[in-house]
Structure 1
Amino acid sequence: MRMVKGGYRAGSFLHSPMHIGFISMEPNSLFIPQYLDSNLILFVHHGEARVGHIHSSELVERHLKHGDVYTIPAGSAFYLENRLENQRLRIICSIDITSESMGWHAFQSFFIGGGTHPASVLAGFDHNTLATALNVSPEELHTFLTRQTSGPIVHISGSHHKNMWSEFLTQEPHQKLAHLKRIVNFGEEAGPKEEKSTWSLRKFLFNLVNRENVVNHHHHHHKAPSVYNLYKKKPNFKNHYGWSKNVDSSDYSPLEQSGNGVYLVNLSPGSMMAPHVNPSAIEYGVVLKGTGRIQIVYPNGTLAMNARVREGNVFWVPRYFPFCQIASTNDHFEFFGFTTSARRNHQQFLAGKNSLMQSLRGPEFAAAFGIDEKRLNRIANAQHEQVILPASSWDSSQDKASEPERKKRTNFERIVGSLGSDMIMGFD
């Protein structure tokens, strides 16, 4: 897993309240059981996956395919599996920066399973205390805590030679649930003598791994989250020049808990998403296909960034900052992303048929530009399209990058400039 970090970046006054993660898993592999201190939204960019996580004291398993969106609440133990024999799994995810993460800029993974690499959260406790809590011998505990050495993503074999995680995945759901809970419950059947010495340890880990149980213990009738496929959704807007899809909590209720939305945009060659403002959310984007440009404007009316982006690039746009996305003239430009609001995002467009230019027409607006109303009306009515606008002959130069610019590009390029380098982010 790789991550583009949010938070405050060096030399910047802007705060990014979200990390963007990229999970890549080889065929027949498992991301071992863990929980995070942050809400997680998964988007399957390529391949298929099976995800299992704890929901209201039950193990829920879902099959995820290309375009699926799924949420995992903070503190909910989960695992990911790529069962396919010959296809990599690629997942893009949003990871909240929460006030509960003890001030760390990066999110924290708490591995339930583990050994020498990664270490299980259990390994930090005094071994005599832990052996007593689990009611096993010190020798058995040592084997239990040192057997795993393959890292957080392990290969699961289909052959006769099986490792511990292969055996875990072949179990029935109730057996997997018991396995995960056994690690943190420390035997709820403990006698009075054991109860006194292990209560605080058991309660501490039980609350961490099963925070969802604590938060939702009055709502056991709630069903586990379903899967939402973004590609199957009807576009919110579509014309000859592209389409856009937005998913909020009214479409997919699990987004309400994380407070985030998701979107997907596809622009035809040369077209643009009209200059607009997000008044209610910060926007994050990941380029899935093609190349294009992202232009962002400062509040004082100067250009903050004009960056060429391509597949794999990550960008973010601060709330209220005007911006637009422009497709190159030789290919479709598709990008997926997250917003920091689960409510319907009412974008305010600054150009086009449905824009503020139309809504504010009048003597006051004309006076603000120092022109008469007739001229203002001529400018306001010149664009007959809305939201996604067609290419113009004069903007073809946007695609022509200079030789120095081509040399600077990497898969996750960093754009030079104090604000620009924060808005196009690379892996740390």
Structure 2
Amino acid sequence: MDFNLSPQPADTTVYEGDAGGYYSWTGAKSPAIPQAKVAAGKLVLRPRGFALPHYADTFKIGYVAQGTCIVGLVFPNDPQEKVLIINKGDAIPVQMGAISWWFNGGDSDFTIIFLGESSQSYSPGQFDYFFLTGPIGVLATFSPEFITKIFHLKESETETLVHSQANPLLVKLDKGINMPNQSNCDTREYVFNLDDLISSGVNYAEITAENFPLLEKIGLSASLVRLESHSILNPYYNVNGSQIIYVLKGSGRVQIMGLNGTRVLDADVQEDQAFVVPKFFAATQLAGEHGMEFFCLSTSSRPIVGQLAGKESAWKALSSPVLQAALNVSQEFVAFFKSKINL
């Protein structure tokens, strides 16, 4: 089986205008994305940019790369609008079928990266969005006769309801519209700041069902990794899920080992590119001169990860005679090698 895991930037501009833009990764340039049943998208909102209310056929987690945004969520079977304020470093899970809207009330751009799984998506490797309003929204899809009867409207009122919004995805709001500007719920139940978990000497932060129970419902987990200049991430493999990784800052090099000892990827990677690490494939990343930071999603809420270097690796656990036989080296070299593992 051939694997094309080459890191790629978003290859499709879904929408772009004064309010911002939405960009996605597709199987045309990133075939590993639909193969692994994951998906990726990037939403950019300019000041006063508003993403119309919509829902999707996928579970996903958004990571705020820059700016501040006000988010509204309405969950199926719970018709109460939750309003949240999210900031740089926040990770926000979005459940399948949950209606959401996004508004940038600040003075600078807002960017959020969505990574998720697409096993139930109508379009493999994609987030399929269903809008409530606008020319491709639910209201415009049903016939005027149905809308009139559903909402008990006159024909002219139906025309106003259905056709007043001409923008399909994003719209720049006039200042006369006073959007919500405060949270109306406990944000900690719905948002987790990964930046808060990274401090001096710590380069890795992870959210799973263990420390963020909401992830149990969506079956995903996420992590933020910061590598200093020329530092390397110990090789690892995932037992119960694939990964999709988006580079937030910097650049570096990634190597991935596949079936039968084949190196399926050895490539440079840079900011704004994404790539997939399939389940069981071993991967490692080496940061470039200016370091590298990336956001990673796993398709399991409780990921099981095997370490292939470091104090928690199999090399540390295996007994010396086993290593001597497996490596076909002397006892002295095994002792030397084990001393390096502890570094």
Q: TM-score range by the shorter chain?
A: 0.7 to 0.9
Q: Secondary structure at the match of 2:315?
A: helix
Q: Secondary structure at the match of 1:367?
A: helix
Name the residue aligned to 1:248. 208
Name the residue aligned to 2:11. none
Q: Which amino acid in the other structure matches residue 82 of structure 2?
A: V
2:96 is aligned with 1:74: yes
Cα distance 1:106–1:383, how it changes in 2: closer, same or farther (>3 A)? Answer: closer
Q: Which has the higher contact order (CA 8 A, sep 6+)?
A: 2
Q: Secondary structure at the match of 1:5?
A: coil
Measured after TM superposition, the shift of residue 96 of structure 1 is 2.6
Cα distance 1:325–1:172, how it changes in 2: closer, same or farther (>3 A)? Answer: closer
Q: 1:130 aligns with which of 135, 138, 147?
A: 147
Name the residue aligned to 1:227. 191
Name the residue aligned to 1:371. 329
CA distance in 2, matches of 1:172, 1:295: 44
1:97-116 deviation per Cα after TM superposition (whole angstroms, max 9, x unaligned): 143x45655332111121x3
Name the residue aligned to 1:359. 317
CA distance in 2, matches of 1:7, 1:73: 26
Measured after TM superposition, the shift of residue 224 of structure 1 is 9.1
Measured after TM superposition, the shift of residue 43 of structure 1 is 1.3
Counterpart contact for 1:21–1:95, Cα < 8 Å:
no
* Equivalent residue runs for 1:58-73 within 5 Å: 58-73=80-95
Measured after TM superposition, the shift of residue 347 of structure 1 is 2.8
* Equivalent residue runs for 1:199-214 within 5 Å: none
2:343 is aligned with 1:322: no
1:2-47 deviation per Cα after TM superposition (whole angstroms, max 9, x unaligned): 112369965x798222111100010011101111122232211100
Q: How does the TM-score come out when normalised to structure 2? A: 0.84
Cα distance 1:9–1:170, how it changes in 2: closer, same or farther (>3 A)? Answer: closer
Q: Which amino acid in the other structure matches residue 382 of structure 1?
A: K
Q: Which amino acid in the other structure matches residue 80 of structure 2?
A: E
Q: 2:248 aligns with which of 278, 288, 303?
A: 288
Name the residue aligned to 1:145. 162
Q: 1:3 aligns with which of 24, 44, 65?
A: 24
CA distance in 2, matches of 1:172, 1:308: 42
Name the residue aligned to 1:22. 42
Q: Secondary structure at the match of 1:139?
A: helix
- Work out the percentage of aligned pairs sharing the same amino acid: 24
CA distance in 2, matches of 1:102, 1:266: 34
Q: Secondary structure at the match of 1:288?
A: strand
Q: If you compute each CA radius of gyration, which structure gives the higher value, 1 or 2?
A: 1
Measured after TM superposition, the shift of residue 263 of structure 1 is 0.5
Cα distance 1:312–1:50, how it changes in 2: closer, same or farther (>3 A)? Answer: same
CA distance in 2, matches of 1:334, 1:173: 29
Q: 2:340 aligns with which of 365, 373, 382?
A: 382
Q: Secondary structure at the match of 1:308?
A: strand
Q: Which amino acid in the other structure matches residue 48 of structure 1?
A: T
Name the residue aligned to 1:92. 113
Name the residue aligned to 1:339. 298
CA distance in 1, matches of 2:237, 2:54: 38
* Equivalent residue runs for 1:150-169 within 5 Å: 150-158=167-175, 162=176, 166=177, 169=179
Measured after TM superposition, the shift of residue 315 of structure 1 is 1.6
1:151-172 deviation per Cα after TM superposition (whole angstroms, max 9, x unaligned): 31100111xxx5xxx36x3699
42-51 or 294-303, larger mean C-alpha shift: 294-303
CA distance in 1, matches of 2:123, 2:172: 34
5+ residue gaps, structure 2, are 1-21
The structure richer in helix per residue is 1
Cα distance 1:264–1:172, how it changes in 2: closer, same or farther (>3 A)? Answer: closer
CA distance in 2, matches of 1:138, 1:29: 31
Q: 2:79 aligns with which of 54, 57, 60?
A: 57
Q: Secondary structure at the match of 2:260?
A: coil
Counterpart contact for 1:6–1:19, Cα < 8 Å:
no
Cα distance 1:13–1:72, how it changes in 2: closer, same or farther (>3 A)? Answer: closer
Cα RMSD after superposing both structures: 2.8
CA distance in 2, matches of 1:335, 1:107: 21
Q: Secondary structure at the match of 1:232?
A: helix
2:56 is aligned with 1:36: yes
2:123 is aligned with 1:106: no
Q: Which amino acid in the other structure matches residue 105 of structure 2?
A: R
1:151-207 deviation per Cα after TM superposition (whole angstroms, max 9, x unaligned): 31100111xxx5xxx36x369999xxxxxxxxxxxxxxxxxxxxxxxxxxxxxxxxx
CA distance in 2, matches of 1:267, 1:171: 35
Q: How does the TM-score come out when normalised to structure 1? A: 0.68
